[in-house]
């Protein structure tokens, strides 16, 4: 049931993307969406009372119950790509501000 | 009015998602995922019928104690190769967008850093750097790995930028390091094709599960990824914190 909280985060990000006209707020909305999606993917692999999928001196056998490691590996990839896209978006926003001296899309006009 | 329309659209979308998920047999109830029926079971048992014991099992299919690392750098290493490429392309895009040419200067601080701040940040720089290196080296045993460790190295560079108004990283060195680490990653995985049978193959002995020197090429690849990510993010920070000199 807690997975629906992650879906709330995703649609919250979409709502922010639809209603905001400020470039920085749009980038933050994309990030909120991404966090919700990552949480959702992680939650699909959760097993009640499962251990973190790392063999150690305490949990030393692969016969124990572990949570699904595959969604975690996929989310690791997604986080890194999120960092890359956010950096690119922020660089675009910086260039926009240097040219138009505003971050609001409605106020940007051709000189 | 526009906000109301957006709200209606979002509510419709979430209702659609929830209805789709509720009548879906493939979507597990939270906490009741059946790992045994999934492909992940192969990753946990490393393809053997005997249970893998930490510190005892030798020469398993994949010797990493951290199962997530064994997926990221061994079973699905092709994914990671693409991921590193995406990060490289985005760093290159930022460098193109914010390129400041030869006459660049770093952003000025609002205050004059005193002696204590400068010395203290230098001391902290070493500690953060060593933690990042430790996390990269133990990526196949403990949580962490090349990506978090690389970002940690970059955060130590950011600390020097914020605490010292004369610090300027050698951006050219970072570019060289990034290129060398990225090329070595491709060369190491190509060696699998030459020395063994297929691309990305783990051609070194995997050793005992839980040892520092285990898991074949996994630590080597993760060190290269850590160097690449660290230099890439440091380059990003440098791009954001410098600006063109007013001509």
Residue B244's pLDDT band, with cuts at 50, 70 and 90, is low
- CA B225 – CA B213 distance, rounded (Å): 18
- CATH number for A74: 1.10.287.3510
pLDDT digits (tens, 9 = 90+) for A47-98: 888 888 888 888 888 778 888 888 888 998 899 899 889 999 999 998 888 8
pLDDT at A45: 83
How close, in Å, is residue A71 to chain B by CA atoms? Answer: 9
Q: Note whether residue A59 is domain-resident.
A: no
pLDDT at A88: 92
Q: Looking at the domain assignment, is residue A73 inside a domain? A: yes
Task: Between B172 and B151, name the one with better pLDDT.
Answer: B151
Number of domains comprising chain B: 1
**Which of A23, A63, A84 best probes binding to B when mutated, by most B CB atoms within 10 angstroms?**
A84
Tell me whether residues B68 and A14 touch, CB distance under 8 A.
no
Residue B31 lies in a domain: no
| Chain B closest-CA separation from residue A75 CA (Å) | 10
Residue B8 lies in a domain: no
Residue A45: closest CA among chain B residues belongs to which residue?
A: B33
Boundaries of domain holding B199: 60-244
Proportion of chain B above pLDDT 70, given as a percent? 96
Is residue A54 situated within a structural domain? no
Split at pLDDT 50, 70, 90, the class of B247 is: very low
Return the top range by mean pLDDT from A22-36, B24-38, B162-176.
Answer: A22-36
Q: What range defines the domain where residue A24 resides?
A: 3-48+66-100
Helices (H), chain B: 2-22, 40-45, 67-69, 77-97, 115-137, 146-163, 171-195, 218-241
Q: Read off the pLDDT of residues B96-151 as tens digits, 9 standing for 90 and up.
A: 888 766 666 777 778 888 888 888 888 999 999 999 999 998 888 888 888 899 89
Rounded percentage of chain B residues whose pLDDT exceeds 90: 9
pTM here? 0.84
Mind listing the pLDDT tens digit for each residue in A15-44? Answer: 999 898 899 999 999 999 999 999 998 888
Q: Which of B136, B109, B101, B104 is nearest to B231 (CA)?
A: B136
Number of domains in chain A: 1
As a whole number, mean pLDDT of residues B190-194 equals 84
> B31 and A46 in contact by Cβ < 8 A?
yes
Q: Which residue of B has its CA nearest to A19?
A: B3
| Torsion of Cα atoms, A104 then A108 then B1 then B5, to 10° | -80
Does any domain span residue A60? no
- Partner residue opposite B14 with nearest CB, options A11, A50, A81: A11
Report how far residue B154's alpha carbon sits from residue A88's, in angstroms, rounded to the nearest whole number: 17
User: Cβ contacts (< 8 Å) between B79 and chain A: which residues?
Assistant: 77
* pLDDT given at position A96: 87
- Residue B225: is its pLDDT beyond 80? yes
Shortest alpha-carbon distance between residue B14 and chain A (Å): 7
- How close A1 comes to chain B (CA, Å)? 6
């Amino acid at each position: 049931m807690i997975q629906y909280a992650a879906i709330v985060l995703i649609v919250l990000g979409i709502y922010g993307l639809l209603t905001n006209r400020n470039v920085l707020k749009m980038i933050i909305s994309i990030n909120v969406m991404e966090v919700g999606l990552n949480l959702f993917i992680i939650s699909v692999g959760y097993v009640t009372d499962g251990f973190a999928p790392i063999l150690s001196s305490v949990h030393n056998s692969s016969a124990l119950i572990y949570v699904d490691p595959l969604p975690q590996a996929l989310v690791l990839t997604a986080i890194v790509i999120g960092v890359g896209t956010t950096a690119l978006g922020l660089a675009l926003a910086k260039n926009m501000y240097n040219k138009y001296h505003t971050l609001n899309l409605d106020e940007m006009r051709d000189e | 009015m526009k906000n109301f329309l957006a709200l209606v659209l979002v509510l419709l979308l979430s209702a659609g998602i929830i209805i789709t998920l509720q009548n879906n047999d493939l979507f597990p109830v939270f906490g009741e995922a059946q790992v045994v029926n999934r492909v992940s079971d192969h990753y946990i048992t490393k393809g053997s019928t005997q249970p893998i014991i930490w510190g005892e099992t030798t020469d398993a299919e994949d010797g990493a104690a951290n199962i997530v690392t064994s997926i990221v750098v061994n079973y699905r290493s092709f994914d990671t190769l693409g991921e590193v490429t995406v990060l490289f392309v985005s760093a290159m895009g930022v460098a193109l967008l914010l390129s400041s040419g030869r006459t660049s200067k770093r952003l000025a601080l609002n205050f004059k850093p005193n002696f204590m701040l400068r010395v203290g940040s230098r001391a902290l720089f070493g500690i953060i750097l060593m933690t990042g290196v430790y996390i990269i080296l133990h990526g196949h045993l403990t949580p962490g790995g090349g990506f978090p460790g690389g970002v940690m190295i970059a955060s130590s560079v950011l600390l020097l930028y914020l605490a010292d108004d004369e610090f300027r990283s050698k951006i050219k060195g970072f570019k060289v390091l990034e290129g060398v680490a990225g090329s070595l990653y491709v060369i190491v995985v190509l060696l699998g094709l030459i020395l063994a049978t297929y691309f990305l193959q783990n051609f070194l002995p995997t050793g005992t599960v839980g040892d520092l020197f285990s898991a074949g090429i996994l630590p080597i690849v993760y060190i290269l990824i850590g160097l690449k990510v660290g230099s890439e993010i440091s380059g990003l920070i440098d791009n954001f914190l410098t600006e063109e000199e007013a001509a």
